[in-house]
Amino acid sequence: MAKQPAANYDIVVVGTGIAGLSAALAAAEMGDRVALLEKGKKLGGGTSLSYGGFWIGNNHLAEQDGEKDDLEQVLSYIRYMSGGYSDEAKMLAYATRGAEALRFFEACGVRLHVTRGLTDHYWGVAPGARAAGRHLDPDLTSIRTLGPWQDKIFIPRDQPTEMTLEEVIEWGGITDPANWNWELIGKRRQDGMLGRGTAVVVHFVRELLSRNVDIRIEAAVARLTESNGRIDGAELDNGEVVRARKGVVLATGGYDSNHEMAEHLEGLPGWLTQFPDTLTGDHLRIAGERGAQTRTIHHNFSVFLGFHVPKVHPEDNILFRQASICEMLCPHTIVVNRDGRRFGDEAYFQALVPRLREYDMNKRRHVNLPCFLIFDQQYADAFSFAYRPAGAPIPDWVARADTLEKLGGLLGVDGAGLATTAERFNGFARKGVDEDFRRGAASWTLASAEVWKNKGENRDEPNPRLGTVRVAPFYGIELHPSCFVSHGLLTDANAQVVHQRGKPIPGLYAVGNAAAHTEYGIGYQAGFSLGSAMTFGYLAACHMRDLAPNHKPGDAHEDLAFPDTAARNLG
């Protein structure tokens, strides 16, 4: 194919999730000419599907809210969360410069607010954890502000996004959609108002358009170009080259929709994706060809259990229901393995994650995969299953039987074992204490905080995370693992991709899920992913600006380019 002439930019950003959007906006605001390239037909990637939560320590929005945070505490928390799997310089960069990035983007016009009612996951457990102030989510915003670009945003049709996270919590949590204010949601939908991940995308795209950033859809980057040892452009799959004078930022998300790669890199049988089908790990090949190193975060805790909900419209995105933070938080549910045995606190999914990796030497198979969600009619009457209102009929793609023994037979689970497990569990539910796994003891509550709100007073179980599984019919469905990638490109504290020989590759950056999360290691905390992607998107742009031979002091936001004083103060 004849090559087209190259278009010339200062910076080329690949991917339009939070990582790419923040790198592109920061670079444009710093005066660089930016091209933002997206492989899919719409902008937003996995970020559009997200709840839109950002975790940023010691931030000014919390301070305005009366929540005084402290950098030492932030660092203690991230260090604890990382479990020894972090890179100190990158961790320090996230901890100390996340708040700076937040202020920078706020000055650009992106609006976030503190999510009241959401604690740090390990509050009461980890040093430095806080009850409030570090979790942020986007202000509602109108898609109509995007003019002709409004049709180019990926908006998941099957999950409402017209609300803030605080509202979801006030309305009873994500497990209780029947109690949400549907009238308000409907009105906002008519008005084009969005919250959650889609609002994140709209805020950033609006600011990019106002700065004349060239955004291109269906522009899949296939490889990088190089001259004199420096990455100087990206080549699309149609052979077109887009030149980047200062650098290329890979923000292509994970590899979740590349089934073979995901099963191989995660080592968890039965993997299912929860992200759009354009997330196929292209960065590993693209940067691998240039000698990039990768890292795996072993023991990554961000593994969810869930199942695919059959599509209503063929053109919809696959919908992965994160049972880990929905059904499994509610009473009248248990999760069992093939032997019909429980293997952890279902209401705190991170407790199950190490058990999913357990392997039986003699049987030559995983001990707890496959695993199954089991629930009864009490659950079906009172709680939402797979986004349906509480009390709605359980869909026919879920197995059911009038005894647990028979249900086990349908699922390939030892029925006698399942019945014995349920009997023991029911005893715990009546006492209010799970003597095997302490279900309900973890203080992090998120959506389950008010699990019994509006469910009537008439309950005979004293612990809101426990409830007997005893009323027929009994239901069961296989749960599949899915995670926010454990493997990615190795990057340094400036988001530069590191070469096999240990030095950064000049002109090549990776942010978001394309990069290994060595800033927070194994730790899963809601908002780490978006918060750190936004931080490193900003830091990549700062690095290219500072290195740029033609950078003029006095460019926009010079006053916001805070030096590393915070890091220095920590010695």
Ligand X SMILES: Cc1cc2nc3c(=O)[nH]c(=O)nc-3n(C[C@H](O)[C@H](O)[C@H](O)COP(=O)(O)OP(=O)(O)OC[C@H]3O[C@@H](n4cnc5c(N)ncnc54)[C@H](O)[C@@H]3O)c2cc1C
533 is a contact residue toward ligand X (CB under 6 A): yes
Annotate 149-184 with DSSP letters as a single string: GGGGB---TTS---S-HHHHHHTT-TT-GGGS-HHH
Instruction: Kindly indicate which of the ranges 39-47, 113-121, 175-183, 389-397 contains the residues binding ligand X, using the contact rule CB under 6 A.
Output: 39-47
- Interface stretch with ligand X, choices 102-110, 270-278, 467-475, 544-552 (CB under 6 A): 270-278
Binding string, residues 321-360; x marks residues near ligand X by CB under 6 A = -x--------------------------------------
Number of residues that bind ligand X (CB under 6 A): 39
Contacts to ligand X from residues 458-497, by CB under 6 A: 484
Non-local (6+) Cβ contacts of 43 within 8 A are 16, 149, 152, 153, 154, 201, 205, 215, 217
Which residue has tokens 């990637």? 45
Binding range to ligand X, per CB under 6 A, among 78-86, 290-298, 386-394, 520-528: 520-528
Q: Which is nearer to ligand X, 98 or 331 (CB)?
A: 98
Alpha-carbon torsion (252, 253, 258, 260), positive or negative: positive
* Residues with Cβ within 8 Å of residue 113, at least 6 apart in sequence: 61, 136, 137, 138, 139, 164
**Residue 156 binds to ligand X (criterion: CB under 6 A):** no
Q: Is 24 in the site for ligand X (CB under 6 A)?
A: no
Q: Which is nearer to ligand X, 46 or 440 (CB)?
A: 46
**Helices (H) then strands (E): counts for the chain:** 16, 23
Binding mask 176-215 for ligand X (x = CB under 6 A): ----------------------------------------
Report d(CA 29, CA 207) in Å as an integer: 9
- Contact present, 475 and 398 (Cβ < 8 Å): yes
Task: Write out the two tokens for 55.
Answer: 């975790």
Find out whether 176 and 241 touch, Cβ atoms under 8 Å.
Answer: no
Q: Is residue 527 part of the contact set for ligand X (CB under 6 A)? A: yes
* Bridge-based pairing state of the strands 241-250 and 7-14: parallel
Residue closer to ligand X, measured from CB, 309 or 336? 309
Is position 175 an interface residue for ligand X (rule: CB under 6 A)?
A: no
Give 231's strand partners: 226
Q: In the complex, what is the shortest distance from the CB of residue 439 to ligand X, in angstroms, rounded to a whole number?
A: 23
The answer, yes or no, to whether the previous bond of 370 is cis (omega within 30 of 0) is yes
Q: Among 16-24, 90-98, 358-366, 414-422, which window interacts with ligand X (CB under 6 A)?
A: 16-24
**Which amino acid makes up residue 497?**
V
Select 37 or 566, whichever has its Cβ closest to ligand X.
Answer: 37
Question: In this chain, which of 221, 371, 483, 566 binds ligand X, going by CB under 6 A?
Answer: 221
49 makes contact with ligand X (CB under 6 A) = yes
Binder to ligand X among 530, 534, 541, 544 (CB under 6 A)? Answer: 530
Residue numbers 66-85 binding ligand X by CB under 6 A: none
| Nearer to ligand X among residue 374 and residue 483 (C-beta) | 483
Based on the shown chain and the rule CB under 6 A, indicate whether residue 301 belongs to the binding site for ligand X. Answer: no
Question: Of these, 26, 35, 36, 37, which contacts ligand X (CB under 6 A)?
Answer: 37
Q: Where are the beta strands (DSSP E) in 311-425?
A: 319-321, 333-337, 359-360, 365-366, 371-375, 399-401
Binding segment toward ligand X, per CB under 6 A, in 45-53, 142-150, 210-218, 545-553: 45-53
Residue 470 CB, nearest approach to ligand X (Å): 31
**Measured distance CA(88)–CA(79) in Å, rounded:** 9
Measured from the CB atom, the residue of 52 and 408 that comes closer to ligand X is 52
Out of 39, 338, 406, 543, which residue is the one contacting ligand X (CB under 6 A)?
39
CB of 278 to ligand X, least distance (A): 3
Q: Does 45 bind ligand X (CB under 6 A)?
A: yes
How long, in residues, is the chain? 571
378 part of the interface to ligand X, by CB under 6 A: no
Q: Which residue number, 136 or 185, has a Cβ lying nearer to ligand X?
A: 136
Query: Looking at beta carbons only, is 16 or 333 nearer to ligand X?
Result: 16
Helix (H), strand (E) at residue 290: none
Q: Should residue 35 be labelled a site residue for ligand X when binding is judged by CB under 6 A?
A: no
Long-range contacts at 441-444 (CB < 8 A, ≥ 24 apart): 441/345, 442/125, 442/345, 442/347, 442/348, 442/351, 443/119, 443/123, 443/124, 443/125, 444/119, 444/120, 444/121, 444/122, 444/123, 444/348
For ligand X, which is the closer residue by CB, 217 or 367? 217
* Nearest position to ligand X, beta carbon: 17
CA atoms within 13 A on the CB side of 305: 33
Residue 17 found at the interface with ligand X (CB under 6 A):
yes
Query: Binding to ligand X by residue 14, rule CB under 6 A?
Result: yes
Q: Name which of 508, 537, 548, 514 is nearest 233 in CA terms.
A: 508
Of 13, 25, 53, 341, the one binding ligand X by CB under 6 A: 53
The nearest distance, CB 367 to ligand X, in angstroms, is 26
Give the Cα separation of 366 and 301 in Å (integer): 17
482 SS3 class: strand
Burial grade of 247 (CB within 10 A; 0-12, 13-18, 19 or more) = buried
Residue 479 CA, chain-centre distance (Å), reads: 19
- Interface with ligand X (CB under 6 A): 14-20, 37-40, 45-47, 49-53, 220-221, 251-253, 274-275, 278-279, 282, 322, 484, 512-513, 526-530, 533
